[in-house]
A and B are shown apart, each in its own frame.
Chain A
Amino acid sequence: MVLPPFALHRPTTTAQALSLLAEDSVPYSGGTELLLAMRMGLIRPTALVDLKRIPEMQEIRTDRSRLLIGAGVSHDRLATDPLVEQHARLLAAAEREVGNARVRAQGSIGGNICFGEPRSDVATVLIALEAELGLANSAGERSVPAEEFFLGPYWTARDATELLTAISIPLPCAEGVYLKFQTVERPTVAVAAVRRPGGDYRVVVGAVGEVPVWADYPGVGEVDPVDLVGRTSPVSDLTGSERYKRHVTEVYIRRAAELLAESER
């Protein structure tokens, strides 16, 4: 099947890219989601604005108390970069298991979260790590907490004329465990359970519902799997019925909390 026609712009600065964006002139990075959606006729942009030639979108660096990741950085780089391994081990671990080796080499962290596909490993982990997402348009910049970014399936807080420029993770980074259950290309359920730098705990449940859900607890012993499952919105599909998914989710929350508790003993 062939792709529908489109114009291709290849800016080399964020400012140039922003001047080219419009409702039907869309950001394009690895294309692992966008090209598929275009081939299926779900999106029909007249132009793609390629972000891969913008150097700052490819940066990984630390700045005082934050780890800064350019939106164009690939999953594979995040999985293997020493700075990410040193400062945000949970993200590195999750990135190592995204999709397959080609998706990791081609796909970017920014494309993953901007697409808003519910079964994202990245979204779950970024909420656990309390990341801030840097958005820019030609009028200015703003920062949105990852917690407030995912509004629904394929729907995020990003406006069509905005670019996600960078992901900013506060340091020291929350540490913990990331567990997922997966039988096909994408996870059925994913659970991140972390101890936050302030000493309390956060459990995020992703992939199983329309958007990730989370709760904070003063102690790891207080994690309440039944309550948390009750907040998710699983739907029956090829990977399982709603009832089955609720069960698996509960089991995975419990296991993640247990593993986290064990790791602290």
Chain B
Amino acid sequence: MTELILQAKHIYKSFHDPIKVQVLTDINFSVSKGEFVSVTGKSGCGKSTLLYILSTMDTDYEGELLIDNILMTGKKEAMLARVRNEKIGFVFQFHYLLNEFSVLKNVMLPGLKLNKFSAAEVEHRAMEKLKMLDIEKLALKNANLISGGEKQRVAIARALINDPHIIMGDEPTGNLDKKNSDKVFEIFNRLTNEFNQTLLIVTHDQSFAERTHRIIEMEDGKVISN
């Protein structure tokens, strides 16, 4: 019996600006623990839009979203923020680190926010994640002084800090060269194999998708193969 981490049930989404455009139509799928799932599809088919809904950041949709078997639809903003903090890790295409902080502090922030461990413990865990990703040397550097590939690895370390149920990525390798994107794939692969980490990654990169456990293919706001 596999444990369900994420379930999307009949999700519809449309934009009303300036005219009503249906972007997602009846999206149904689920992700089980330890799965490495990729979402592919042509540009503009609604992948990012779907991911923002699944990540609880976008609440303006129809249908139901369950994370860890708990219904997210209709929950309060503060409550959803807590879910994102505790159960979801993010990796974006444009690394999105806080430039005011060091690499280490960037990784620590969601951990400090969760407030489950003491600051010293969070720091220790952050160092472990950085070591695992082979970037512990960068720990005390300022976040805006490191390379794009390094930034993406820092973002992954940050996503991991609270041991989330699922890591979501919107084209995390989209902005990287072949060598760096292979590195990122290797990290993801290791996370599923060694730590049974659940991953849901949107990608354009066909070779990247083919190496994952499962591909969800989208077209015009619908899932065409799963």
The finding on whether chains A and B are genuine partners in a shared complex, rather than unrelated, reads no
Residues of chain A having any CB pair with chain B under 8 Å:
none
